[in-house]
Amino acid sequence: MYDEKDLLKAVSKRKSLTFLSVLLGVLTLAACILICVFAKPRNVTPYLIAAICVSTVGGWIVISIVHFPLAAAKAEVKHINAILEGERELIEGRFKLTDERTFIKNGVGMYSVKNEEDGSAVFKVFDKFADRMPSKELKTIQTVYGFVTAYEVNDADD
Amino acid sequence: MRTIKKVLSNLHRYVLWLLVSIFLWAFVFNAAKVVPAGKKVVVFADVKINDIGALTNELEKELPSGITLVEVHEFSSAIFDGTVIGQADILILPEAEVEKYMGSLSVVPDADPETAYLKDGKAFGVRIFSANSNTGSALKYFGFSNGTSSDYYICFNTASGHTGKLNGSEDDAAISVAESILALP
């Protein structure tokens, strides 16, 4: 389920968000410098308040981008990279994708894959790729670090 | 719910950035925009000023060399900032107040004795408004005739660096500004 295209897409998203946050930061700084340049020495206070407001709001937007979508994009790139470079393992049994959504350490969302034989949910599927998996029972799954990377549908289930 | 939790977990960053913005820009504006005492002439008037903006605009039409700003404060500003009087280069005071500030006023050697505030034969100010004749300078800008009827004098702070020969400096910007005030209708 993971391929180089997914990695390129995630890297492109990360780069776009990084560029956007840097651009916003630079624009905020430029706006504040312009306010400072045009401030009249006799009446500095309104200009100072304007610069503080622009700087604060601009900074908050940059913080919001860096800590939410950009952090998620970075985690996604890291996750896909790790999966692509990881060692694959084939496991046979009876597995089924569940609706149980969890978040791994770096904040990437996952759906659990349940082992129908013992009821445990030890494997995970990246939530963005969950729609690539059928709701049918799976007889073989390929995993890397416990994340499902490929599957084989149990035809007997039909 | 998870988004709210994430925002709350980053709350300290938003608060910290707000504080950084306040201190950073206050420092930058203070360093870049506050005009130092050497480049401005400060006028304190112990009288109501009708339109400070119009008066400063008038006085800044011909600024003395090296001066970028004329700052005018009226009596009410001294209530909120007691340092205004001490920092002023030019003081416009009612007769009764001249005696009070005598210790910090420069002697004006060339003043006309007829219109000067004299003490022990020395002139400490030049009359800007005569209560008896209800005449004077800059009547359009200063509310001399409002309230108590008193003569007003234009005086110079001994601590000023802009009073030229009055305190032995070469910079006589305060004298030029005072002459401009006296020439105003």
Q: pLDDT tens-digit profile of B31-78?
A: 888 888 888 999 999 988 988 889 998 998 888 888 989 999 988 777
At A57, list the tokens. 């709001």
- Among B81-85, B111-115, B156-160, which is the least confidently predicted range? B81-85
Q: Is the pLDDT of residue A154 over 90?
A: no
Residues of chain A neighbouring B22 (CB-CB closer than 8 A): 52
Nearest to B33 among A39, A60, A67 (CB): A39
**List of chain B residues whose C-beta atoms are within 8 Å of the C-beta of residue A75:** none
Q: Could you tell me if the ipTM is greater than 0.85?
A: no
Higher pLDDT, A105 or B154: B154
pLDDT of residue B166: 78
Are A32 and A51 contacting, i.e. CB atoms less than 8 angstroms apart? yes
Q: Chain A closest CA to B23's CA: distance in Å?
A: 9
Interface check A127 vs B, CB under 8 A: no
Q: What is the CA radius of gyration of chain B?
A: 22
Residue in A41, A60, A68 nearest the CB of B17: A60
Residue A42: per-residue pLDDT: 77
B69 touches chain A (CB under 8 A): yes
Q: Does A129 touch chain B (CB under 8 A)?
A: no
**Residue contact A36–B35, C-beta within 8 A:** no
Backbone Cα Rg of chain A: 24
Contact A97, A135 (CB under 8 A): yes
The structure tokens listed for B100 are 């009070």
Q: pLDDT value at position B147?
A: 62
A47 touches B at CB < 8 Å: yes
Nearest CA in chain B to A68: B6
Kindly list the residues from chain B whose CB atom is less than 8 angstroms away from the CB atom of residue A51.
25, 28-29
- Nearest-Cα distance to chain A for B77, in Å, is 15
State residue A99's pLDDT score.
86
| B10 touching chain A per CB within 8 A | yes
User: Among residues of chain B, what percentage have pLDDT more than 70?
Assistant: 96
- Secondary structure (H, E, C), A77-110: HHHHHHHHHCCCEEEEEEEEEEEEEEECCCCCEE
Q: Provide the mean pLDDT of chain A.
A: 89
Q: How many residues make up chain B in this entry?
A: 185
Taking residues A114-124, report their average pLDDT: 81
> By percentage, how much of chain A surpasses pLDDT 70?
97
pLDDT digits (tens, 9 = 90+) for A68-100: 899 989 999 999 999 999 999 998 888 888 888
Q: Which pLDDT score is estimated for B7? A: 77
Model pLDDT for residues A126-142, shown as the tens digit of each residue? 888 888 888 788 888 89
pTM metric for this prediction: 0.70
Taking the mean position of all CA atoms in its chain, how far away is CA B132? 27
Burial of B24 from C-beta contacts in 10 A (0-12 / 13-18 / 19+)? middle
Q: Which residue has the tokens 């820009």?
A: B25
Residue A116 pLDDT class (50, 70, 90 cuts): confident
Burial of B22 (0-12, 13-18, 19+ CB in 10 A): middle
- Cβ atoms of residues B117 and B130 within 8 Å: no
Candidates A51, A63, A68; nearest CB to B25: A51
Question: Would an 8 Å CB–CB cutoff place A84 in contact with chain B?
Answer: no
pLDDT above 90: residue B85: no
pLDDT of residue A54 exceeding 90, the answer is yes
**Is the pLDDT confidence value at A157 over 60?**
no
Q: Inspect the interface and report whether the beta carbons of B29 and A41 lie closer than 8 Å.
A: no
According to DSSP, the β-strands at B122-130 and A109-115 are unpaired
Averaged pLDDT score across all residues of chain B: 87
Residue B97 has pLDDT above 60, yes or no: yes
> In the prediction, which pLDDT does B9 show?
82
A52 at interface of B, judged by CB pairs closer than 8 A: yes
Of the candidates A67, A118, A129, A61, which has an alpha carbon nearest to the alpha carbon of residue A95? A118
Q: Judge whether B25 is closer than 8 Å to chain A, CB to CB.
A: yes
Q: Which of A38, A52, A54, A106 to mutate to test the interface with B (most CBs of B within 10 A)?
A: A52
3-class secondary structure, A114: strand
Contacts of A27 (CB under 8 A, 6+ apart): A58
3-state SS of B91-123 is EEEEHHHHHHHHHHECCCCCCCCCCEEEECCEE
A22 touching B (Cβ < 8 Å):
no
Q: What's the gap in Å between the CA of A52 and the closest CA on chain B?
A: 6
Q: Token pair of A13, please?
A: 């998203």
Residues with Cβ within 8 Å of B155's Cβ and at least 6 positions away in sequence, in order, are B90, B91, B92, B93, B98, B101, B105, B106, B108, B117, B124, B125, B126
Most confident of B14-23, B65-74, B105-114: B14-23
Residue type, A122: V
